[in-house]
């Protein structure tokens, strides 16, 4: 890069707002027992103004952000970039089968590298609204307290690493390193096999021993919201309260609701429904129908007394046959 270009880039960076994120590192993963159980990443964000905060993001949020940025800035001809195009870093692909925790753990180094390269793009990309909102600490982020962040003393190598100089450690996958200090944003210094040297943080994960007092039933445990569900059959009604680690304001997807109800009632051939104000069952077929059900439930919530931790909408589960036999007040 030429000196004039470097000066222009530095000038552009100097003019960025202080709340622009400049680095982000995954500090931990958390399991969320929602309508579908999943893991999300606990991310420490540092801004240009030196402030630090935590955000919580799922892989699907990384994926959605990447699609938006690709649509806005990717060029079909990488050899000839336009004034508003750039080369985006590759995002780790979706994994459909496997242990969810292991998948989340394995993605940490790749997503750390992705975020590092993403925040190293031209300054005009850093001002993109979608990117800024991804790294923005929402009210929900700020109110959430991580149960226990990973302890940074004992990183474990996720990949083999061969040092390029005497100052760099050689690591083998699975080796546990004793951490001495942080050298800079990207490099750590530690000891392994009686050798001391530096190594890139993206090649290791951090081991977190859980404190003995850290259990679900204690004061530091999670809070749950409950959904009242009814399985309607010719022989009667089976009522269940399904408790999930989600906020009452969440709008789950149709796919997640259907999967959860199949698991709850142990029946595959089912359909999801809700009751309208007249007591008739309305079939749910997609995410838009889920949104309509939730809106209707919220409109009626002042008329129906429910526990404070119960969703203002209810699910009525039937078989996929005709609904007419069930279209009476429950």
Q: Tens digit of pLDDT for each residue in 265-284?
A: 888 999 999 998 888 999 99
Residue 191 is predicted with a pLDDT of 72
Both tokens of 225, joined, read: 């919201």
pLDDT recorded at residue 62: 96
Q: List the domain range (segments joined by +) for residue 106.
A: 18-148
Q: Where among 148, 165, 192 does a domain terminate?
A: 148
- Does position 77 have pLDDT exceeding 70, yes or no? no
* 47 and 90 together in one domain: yes
**Residue 115 maps to which CATH number?**
3.30.1520.10
Same domain for 200 and 76, yes or no, is no
In a domain, 1, yes or no: no
| Whether 308 and 168 share a structural domain | yes
Does residue 59 fall inside a structural domain? yes
**Residue 56: inside a domain, yes or no?**
yes
pLDDT value at residue 7: 39
- Does residue 8 lie within any of the structural domains? no
Q: Mean pLDDT, to the nearest integer, of 132-146?
A: 85
Q: Evaluate whether residue 292 is within a structural domain.
A: yes
Q: Are residues 162 and 136 part of one domain?
A: no
Tell me, what's the pLDDT at 89?
A: 92
**Strand locations in the chain, DSSP E?**
21-32, 38-47, 52-57, 155-157, 178-182, 187-192, 195-200, 204-206, 225-233, 236-244, 270-275, 281-284, 315-319
86 falls in which pLDDT band (50, 70, 90)?
A: confident
Q: Which range in 5-9, 163-167, 194-198, 226-230 is most confidently predicted, on average pLDDT?
A: 226-230
CATH number of 239's domain: 3.10.20.90
- Residue 10 within any structural domain of the chain: no
According to DSSP, the β-strands at 204-206 and 195-200 are unpaired
Number of separate domains in the chain: 2
**Do 125 and 229 have their domain in common?**
no
In a domain, 324, yes or no: no
The per-residue pLDDT for 292 is 94
Q: How would residue 153 be classed by pLDDT, with cut points 50, 70 and 90?
A: low
192 and 43 belong to one structural domain? no
Q: What is the pLDDT of residues 155-169, one digit of tens each?
A: 778 888 888 877 788
Quick one: pLDDT at residue 119? 93
Mean pLDDT of 286-312: 86
Choose the final residue of a domain: 90, 123, 148: 148
| Residue 12, in any domain of the structure | no
Same domain, 106 and 173: no
Last residue in a domain, options 84, 118, 148: 148
Please indicate, yes or no, whether residues 28 and 126 belong to a single structural domain of this protein. yes
The reported pLDDT for the residue numbered 1 is 47
35, two tokens = 């309508």
Report d(CA 68, CA 118) in Å as an integer: 13
One domain for residues 66 and 128: yes
Q: Tokens 């159980």 map to which residue? A: 37
Same domain, 313 and 296: yes
pTM to 2 decimal places: 0.62
In this predicted structure, the answer to whether residue 215 has a pLDDT above a threshold of 50 is no
Is there a single domain that holds both residue 133 and residue 262? no
What is the per-residue pLDDT across 89-136, written as a single tens digit (0 to 9) for each? Answer: 999 888 877 888 889 988 999 999 999 999 999 888 889 999 999 999
Per-residue pLDDT at 234 exceeds 50: yes
**Statement to judge: residues 168 and 263 lie in one domain:** yes
Can you tell me the mean pLDDT for 49-72? 92
Place of tokens 């993605």: 107
């Amino acid at each position: 890069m030429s000196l004039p270009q470097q000066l222009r880039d530095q000038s552009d960076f100097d003019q960025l707002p202080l709340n622009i994120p400049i680095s982000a590192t995954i500090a931990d993963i958390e399991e969320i027992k929602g309508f579908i159980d999943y893991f999300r990443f606990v991310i420490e964000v540092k801004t240009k103004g030196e402030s630090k905060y935590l955000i919580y993001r799922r892989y699907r949020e990384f994926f959605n952000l990447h699609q938006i940025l690709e649509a806005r800035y990717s060029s079909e001809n990488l050899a000839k970039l336009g004034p508003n195009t750039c080369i985006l870093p590759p995002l780790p692909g979706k994994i459909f089968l496997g242990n969810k925790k292991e998948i989340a753990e394995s993605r940490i180094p790749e997503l750390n590298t992705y975020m590092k390269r993403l925040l190293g793009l031209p300054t005009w990309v850093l001002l993109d609204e979608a990117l800024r909102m991804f790294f923005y600490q929402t009210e929900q982020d700020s109110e959430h307290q991580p149960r226990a962040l990973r302890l940074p003393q004992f990183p474990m190598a996720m990949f083999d690493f061969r040092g390029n100089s005497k100052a760099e450690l050689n690591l083998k996958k699975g080796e546990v390193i004793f951490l001495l200090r942080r050298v800079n944003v990207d490099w750590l210094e530690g000891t392994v096999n009686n050798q001391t040297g530096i190594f890139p943080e993206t090649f290791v994960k951090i081991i977190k021993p859980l404190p003995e007092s850290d259990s679900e039933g204690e004061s530091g445990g999670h809070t749950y919201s409950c959904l009242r569900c009814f399985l309607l059959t010719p022989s009667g009604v089976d009522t269940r309260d399904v408790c999930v680690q989600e906020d009452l304001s969440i709008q789950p997807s149709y796919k997640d609701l259907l999967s959860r109800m199949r698991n709850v009632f142990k029946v595959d051939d089912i359909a999801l429904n809700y009751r309208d104000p007249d007591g008739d069952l309305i079939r749910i077929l997609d995410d838009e129908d889920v949104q309509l059900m939730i809106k209707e439930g919220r409109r009626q919530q002042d008329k129906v007394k429910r526990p404070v931790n119960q969703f203002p909408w209810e699910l009525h589960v039937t078989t996929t046959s005709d609904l007419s036999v069930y279209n009476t007040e429950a």
